[in-house]
Structure 1
């Protein structure tokens, strides 16, 4: 269902890394805890790993779960499985027994690659609490270190190093259209879907990211991966850097002082993350411009304080650019222009990195395709598109339009310059006074009052119909709902004005591969209770 990229010959992961190794040889591709890993080593180790996995009985179509922090073994396993036509199942290192068991069980993973001693996560204990039925398909555990005791009783166990001693894989070539990676969606109320990507989809998007202006295709480029490789945001920037010939520093866990030192030591020019990460990096130095090496940083629009963050970053010489992406069509799908003002750079969306990508907007009620500046549901077709939801043909069919566009479930609009803007999840967008309204617009106005530090806005049904309700974290000095309400009355249309503005100590949130995610379903329940009370 994905749109094919014209003029580019499809290539599988094995051929891709072999070609990069021919181009860049012993030049560093990754820095794993200060250990350089060259392009030639990645190609060689992935061939050996493929041979080792094949000896364990792993072949085309088999699933191999990867439960690792950011390290070269993560990338090597993806490449090695790609040579076999096997499928990597991405496991978040923050997952616990219920989540790990669900994903291993439903994916039917035959092997699990893990690092039992990666502190502070108790991998052994977590695995011990997974119901046996959900581990039924797992026949082999591969550990990064030599383990004296079994990680899981009754399973064959092998060290990662032992697999690299099995010679080099020289089996038949794999079709670029073959599935190679399952990313899990980050739903908070349902079991995650399994997003299956093809080898050519990953490779094509990696080259598109590398070629984006100012990114990894320019001389002297270097990256840093602080976002987990188990998510689309972290993985996309890493393989994009590989495609561009730019070395990437892999951060197994985020320590701002360590990251700051690595940025200077390795000459990091680009990185992606969430605003809190960059705030913490800036706090490591009192210099007016702490990181002159950074050309720009890309951040996901995960909260409603993006405007404040972009302006604060500008003041310290850190150019921050909003982006857009989904597991279904990978991270860094689009970027806002670097030359734009802070208000635009604070928004999700921008211009797609692929010239073959198409974004359109549809009215969710009438089905009509919308014109510039009209808000509706974003629909996307791109070379980076998923093959579908693994094991769920009904969900796959429901996700796509008849002409092959993905229904994103996101509200947004097109812009006259050919870009687009992300507003909110459709479930979060508010239908107020007959209009589709972005909650971020209301939240931004509420947060502009000096009594408010942060704000989240949801919709709820009350005696006066469906209304906006704002939740705020108060600034120092106290909070008065009436004063903030009065502030909004003079600045927002009546139908947009919040019915209530409620102070909370913190927003309910859950951790995901791309950072903390506010549980808006809980906020909606709190809002309903407040309006009824």
Structure 2
């Protein structure tokens, strides 16, 4: 067992200190260093405090894999709140049930994903604890601007009270045998387990990890961007799986590490069966799971 940071935002802070100028995140045509990722997470944390989010609160993220998803999570966790990741395929009633039972205070959701404004899907639902819904794809920067920026001393004070045994997230089960059940996880559980997992699969500093698995799932979130923060690997999120886009990402961003269930690899092999030349020489590791 390795000696990993004791909290998830602590992992982001440690990455910024150990690899400040290393690319930490690539999204679209932009790259952010680990130092920039941590600064942006701190700015988001300041906005959380300005919005009344603090230790013990719950915020939900009902959105595809994006930079903003990760920053919302880190910002909330840095002030002691727990995140509630939500499946982007949920219907309104399913989402409302989880928001209600988890006592979610703040929701981040897209104004336009899969043809829907997610806030409208829960309009009219009885959600007594939900104070606000923020359109993560349209209004995130305006949300961050509520705070006092990365240098806000209130963030340091809040972060100092986040401990390894505090709840980092509540992930709900699929509800196969009944209503979905919320599984509570502590920060140190996440960093320890997935730091060790990253060692086992040989995720290294300098790797470029194309995260296809959804952030609302443990594979995309904890074995995804959290593992990257712990190990110093570059996070390259995909909002949703598209095999042609995945091939382009691998080639253009010189991806070294890819995950996914077996069906993703079957789709890749079919895509590569044509005569078009492909350059996958950067790939070093491919991991799979979630299906036999």
Secondary structure at the aligned position of 2:42 is classed as: helix
Q: Tell me the equivalent position of 2:170.
A: 182
Normalised TM-score (structure 1) = 0.50
Q: How far does residue 64 in structure 1 lie from its aligned partner after superposition?
A: 0.4
Q: Tell me the equivalent position of 2:74.
A: 79
Q: Tell me the equivalent position of 1:293.
A: 282
1:44 aligns with 2:32: no
Q: Tell me the equivalent position of 2:86.
A: 91
1:160 aligns with 2:143: yes
Q: How far does residue 27 in structure 1 lie from its aligned partner after superposition?
A: 1.8
> What pairs with 1:379-418 in structure 2 (closer than 5 Å)?
none
Q: How many residue pairs are counted as aligned between the two chains?
A: 284
Q: How far does residue 205 in structure 1 lie from its aligned partner after superposition?
A: 2.4
CA contact (8 A) 2:170 2:185 kept: yes
Secondary structure at the aligned position of 2:210 is classed as: strand
CA contact (8 A) 2:25 2:37 kept: no
1:237 aligns with 2:224: yes
Secondary structure at the aligned position of 2:60 is classed as: strand
CA contact (8 A) 1:48 1:163 kept: no
CA contact (8 A) 2:211 2:237 kept: yes
Cα distance in structure 2, aligned partners of 1:142 and 1:57: 14
Q: How far does residue 73 in structure 1 lie from its aligned partner after superposition?
A: 1.5
Q: How far does residue 220 in structure 1 lie from its aligned partner after superposition?
A: 4.7
Q: Tell me the equivalent position of 2:118.
A: 123
Q: Paired residue for 1:140, among 99, 124, 132? A: 132
1:254 aligns with 2:244: no
Q: Tell me the equivalent position of 2:102.
A: 107
Q: CA RMSD in A?
A: 2.4
Cα distance in structure 2, aligned partners of 1:141 and 1:125: 10
CA contact (8 A) 2:23 2:34 kept: yes
Cα distance in structure 2, aligned partners of 1:115 and 1:86: 21
Secondary structure at the aligned position of 2:156 is classed as: coil
Structure with higher Rg: it is 1
C-alpha distance 122-114 of structure 1, shift in aligned 2 (>3 A): closer
Q: Paired residue for 1:198, among 177, 183, 186? A: 186
CA contact (8 A) 2:5 2:14 kept: no
Greater CA deviation, 69-78 or 117-126?
A: 117-126
Cα distance in structure 2, aligned partners of 1:243 and 1:9: 7
CA offsets per residue over residues 59-92 of structure 1, 9 Å max, x none? 1110001112101122112211121110101111
CA offsets per residue over residues 89-142 of structure 1, 9 Å max, x none? 1111111112101100100001111221234344143122xx532x11101222
Q: Which structure is richer in relative contact order (CA contacts within 8 A, separation 6 or more)?
A: 2
Which structure carries more helix by proportion?
2
Cα distance in structure 2, aligned partners of 1:166 and 1:143: 20
Q: How far does residue 226 in structure 1 lie from its aligned partner after superposition?
A: 0.6
Q: How far does residue 159 in structure 1 lie from its aligned partner after superposition?
A: 3.6
Unaligned 5+ runs, structure 1: 148-156, 304-533
